[in-house]
Amino acid sequence: MMTIRLGLVGVGKIAHDQHIPTIAASPDFELVATASRHGSVEGTPSYSSIEEMLDGPETIDAITLCQPPHVRYDAARLAIASGKHVFLEKPPGMTLGEVAALAEQAETAGVSLFASWHSRYGAAIDDTRAWLAGTTIHSVKAIWKEDVRVWHPGQEWLWEAGALGVFDPGINALSVLTAILPRRFFLTDATLEFPENRAAPIAADLTYVDTAGVPVAAEFDFRQPGPHTWEVHAETAAGTMLLAKGGNELWIDGVLKTTAPEAEYRGLYDQFARLIAAGKSDADTTPLAHVTDAFLRGVRVPVEPFHY
């Protein structure tokens, strides 16, 4: 397959930390242009908007969108209408309806749309799914806790009405649960803690059950100082399982079974290349649907104000 010429929109922390080095190392992609209000990549043509980038002289085959989700739909719609394949950072949109509309537009335009969930590409995800499929699960609990000041410094958009708050990392846990568990699960109870001065939650306590009656729970918190916790615990007939480091280590009864260096974004770009080559899309919104259910059903509890 020929090299896919890529435009990157939104040159912020996640782009610098993950996308740019992954693209540079990929055999499938070449970064040929960027569009961002504040960031750029040395040696790569840069523009202040996606409109300017699309009007530039560079030939672009595909576009990765890394800007905040509340402005992503318009950019994705424009890219699709211009005949570009589109990679959506997580979450893929502000609403389920947005992503469904983009999927229809991509199909009509004959381009690939990829709603990426990076945690599903953790080194231990496949082994964990296979291990759980071979035993009887008694209970499952995801714990996703971190310090928002470390991981999202000064990102005020995260707290706006319609934004995800703690579900921005929490949706990673939901993407993992929906990847490793053998059956669908659904929400039965939820408590969401909202700072008095914010329109998005800072913590969430979620209770689920799967279609076989197995209890599934999740705890998300943006207020954990020090090291983060990104884990899934399961009690099963075959022993106690721990999926640690966001999906990159599998432990069974305290024994490490699977580990490898983090390569989630390499997995994402490999999948994007495969989708483009096959003329297919992958626009799964199941994790976002679980977030929507939490906002719909959750009891909102006010807590102390949050300030950076």
CATH of the domain at 231: 3.30.360.10
Average pLDDT, the chain: 96
pLDDT greater than 90 at residue 261: no
94 with 137, same domain: the answer is: no
Residue 273 lies in a domain: no
Residue with the larger pLDDT of the pair 61 and 70: 61
The verdict on 152 and 240 lying in the same domain is yes
Question: Is the pLDDT score of 181 beyond 80?
Answer: yes
In a domain? residue 280: no
> Residues 37-52: what's their mean pLDDT?
94
147 lies in the same domain as 246: yes
Q: Across residues 181-199, what is the average pLDDT?
A: 98
Q: What is the average per-residue pLDDT within 235-246?
A: 98
Q: What is the share, in percent, of the chain residues with pLDDT greater than 70?
A: 100
Q: Are residues 297 and 155 in the same domain?
A: yes
Q: What is the mean pLDDT of residues 151-177?
A: 95
297 and 170 belong to one structural domain:
yes
178 or 40, higher pLDDT: 178
Quote the domain boundaries for residue 111. 4-115
pLDDT in tens, 75-110: 999 999 999 999 999 999 999 999 999 999 999 999
H, E, C per residue of the chain: CCCEEEEEECCCHHHHHHHHHHHHHCCCEEEEEEECCCCCCCCCCEECCHHHHHHCCCCCCEEEECCCHHHHHHHHHHHHHCCCEEEECCCCCCCHHHHHHHHHHHHHHCCCEEECCHHHHCCCHHHHHHHHHCCCEEEEEEEEECEHHHHCCCCHHHHCCCCCCCHHHHHHHHHHHHHHCCCCEEEEEEEEEEECCCCCCCEEEEEEEECCCCEEEEEEECECCCCCEEEEEEEECCEEEEEECCCCEEEECCEEEEECCCCHHHHHHHHHHHHHHHCCCECCCHHHHHHHHHHHHCEEEEECCCCC
- Determine the average pLDDT of the residues in 11-22: 94
Percent of the chain's residues with pLDDT above 90: 94
Cα–Cα distance measured from residue 61 to residue 53, given in angstroms and rounded to the nearest whole number: 12
The whole-angstrom separation of Cα 9 and Cα 25 is 19
Task: Give catalytic residue positions.
Answer: 90
pLDDT at residue number 162: 86
Residue 93 lies in a domain: yes
Q: Residue 39: which pLDDT band, with cuts at 50, 70 and 90? A: confident
Task: Report yes or no on 275 lying in a domain.
Answer: no
Q: Does the pLDDT of residue 63 top 90, yes or no?
A: yes
The answer to whether the beta carbons of residues 194 and 200 sit under 8 Å apart is: yes
| Better pLDDT: 2 or 191 | 191
Same domain, 187 and 72: no
How many domains is the chain partitioned into structurally? 2
Indicate if the pLDDT at residue 1 is higher than 80: no
The CATH number of whichever domain residue 30 belongs to comes to 3.40.50.720
- pLDDT for residue 154 is more than 80: yes
Q: Give yes or no: residues 165 and 253 share one domain.
A: yes
219 domain residue, yes or no:
yes
pLDDT of residue 66: 96
Cα–Cα distance for residue pair 252/53, rounded to 1 Å? 49
Whether residue 239 sits in one domain with residue 138: yes
Q: Does residue 308 lie within any of the structural domains?
A: no
Are 26 and 111 contained in the same domain? Answer: yes
pLDDT digit string, tens, across residues 273-288: 999 999 999 999 999 9
**188 and 252 belong to one structural domain:** yes
